[in-house]
Structure 1
Amino acid sequence: MTAVITSLVGVLGTLLGSVVTHAFQQRSARRTERNALDAQRRQERLDACGAYAGLLVELITDDTDPGTAPDPRPCGPGEHPRRRTP
């Protein structure tokens, strides 16, 4: 009888150990996936902010460059601003 009880305790201990191990592995896998998604989102935000900053710099330099400033003279009747001769 002692051998049967010892065997049952051993089997139950092994099953309990495998269930606990499975739970820890699942939690670790979820955490790893969440961290990967967070890193991907962070990189996307950095890319978007970098693109926005680049556009702002381009806008500022276009506004301050006198060569690209619009011609302040109004167009005459029937005159297109791009076809006007200086």
Structure 2
Amino acid sequence: MISPVRNVIRVNQSMAKEVAHEWERASSSELSAYCLHILQEIGCTNTELPDNLQTREQQLNLIAGFASYAFGRVENVASVN
């Protein structure tokens, strides 16, 4: 039997990767601004990126991780009904 949870996880990873790939084409200033926006969405009040979000790779990882969480949260709520 195939677990529906595994299918949701695959979809979430796929969607998160698509988001990350789209942002790979963004400029450094666009990436930084979007990361700051993500941080503000989760309650951080910083106006500058922290030390662990200074490289392009770190910023893309944050974006992919946030997208994965966001898609997972939507899928989990939908699957409860």
Larger Rg: 1
After TM superposition, the score normalised by the length of structure 1 is: 0.31
Which fold has the larger relative contact order, with Cα–Cα distance below 8 Å and residues 6 or more apart in sequence?
Answer: 2
After TM superposition, the score normalised by the length of structure 2 is: 0.32
